[in-house]
Amino acid sequence: MTGTSAIALVQGASRGIGLQYCKTLLQRNTVSTVIATCRNPDSSSGLNYLKNNNSSKLHVCKLDVTNEDEISNVYKYVSENFGKLDLLINCAGMLHPSGKGETSLRSVTGQDLMSTIHTNAVGPLLMAKQFSPLLLNGDGLVGVRSTDPSSQHCGIIANMSAKVGSITDNGLGGWYSYRMSKAALNMATKNLSIELGRGRKKVICVSLHPGTVDTDLSRPYHKNVPKLFTTEYSVNCLLEVIDSLSIADSGKFLTYDRTQLPY
């Protein structure tokens, strides 16, 4: 990553991939500030440990991604204290309110479906709506490997998606809520890449698939997984992808190894 005072915000930072993003970004000399948000910061022992050991570099804010007022409050905090944002990572997600994906149509309920979509797709879009003005002021988390001058000084939105959100790749069915929510998130990413790529200042917007990672969300389904990643390995791979982005990548759905997935 370029620049010496990068500001990164990780939404959904209490555990799993979000918490690991915070840990890894805090170790980077090029990142001056990490803003970690989650619904209940006081109940996250991992986040509190990080805060105690990185008091000047880590800022922890309460933010429920389904609450527009809380999103607005954090936007005001970041705007007043930093005036810009270089990287927004939307991590908060749920498989299903029950913790298990629907195996058949009989298991689908409207309430559970809407709850999953609200967290996984609507929330990240509202984050983009609020923070895009600050991201347009972002000045350089990308361009390390890019030769495209227009990619220097671009803020980045990285939406954590999942391969099961690919309509083309879906050969098994099931998991209605999760699949539909991630497909909706991918559409939001594509739309954002078009709108935020029009002006003189631009924001790079991508959906990222982290692989199957050893987290609470995926733990019930580890039995038949041929390649299970630690959060540290997955995040290191994902940050390599983020480091390599150019404006030509905006709107893409990329895996941890930079393979482009079909929508």
Q: Give the pLDDT mean for 95-116.
A: 91
Q: What pLDDT, on a 0 to 100 scale, did the predictor assign at position 139?
A: 73
Instruction: Please report which confidence band the pLDDT of residue 55 belongs to, taking 50, 70 and 90 as the band edges.
Output: confident
Instruction: Please report which confidence band the pLDDT of residue 147 belongs to, taking 50, 70 and 90 as the band edges.
Output: low
pLDDT tens, position by position, 228-237: 899 999 999 9
Least reliable range by pLDDT among 79-93, 144-158, 238-252: 144-158
Return the CATH class of domain 6-255.
Answer: alpha beta
Residue 151 clears pLDDT 90, i.e. is over it: no
pLDDT tens, position by position, 162-195: 999 999 999 999 999 999 999 999 999 999 999 9
Instruction: Please report which confidence band the pLDDT of residue 80 belongs to, taking 50, 70 and 90 as the band edges.
Output: very high
Rounded Cα–Cα distance for residues 120 and 65 (Å): 9
Residue 62 clears pLDDT 60, i.e. is over it: yes
Pairs from 215-220 (Cβ < 8 Å, separation ≥ 24):
215/15, 215/16, 215/17, 216/15, 216/16, 217/16, 217/93, 217/94, 217/95, 218/95, 220/99, 220/100
Rounded Cα–Cα distance for residues 259 and 262 (Å): 10
Q: What pLDDT, on a 0 to 100 scale, did the predictor assign at position 207?
A: 98
Instruction: Please report which confidence band the pLDDT of residue 41 belongs to, taking 50, 70 and 90 as the band edges.
Output: very high
Q: Give the pLDDT mean for 87-102.
A: 90
Residue 143 clears pLDDT 50, i.e. is over it: no
Rounded Cα–Cα distance for residues 236 and 121 (Å): 24
Residue 23 clears pLDDT 80, i.e. is over it: yes
Q: Are 256 and 237 in contact (CB under 8 A)?
A: yes
Q: Give the pLDDT mean for 96-120.
A: 92
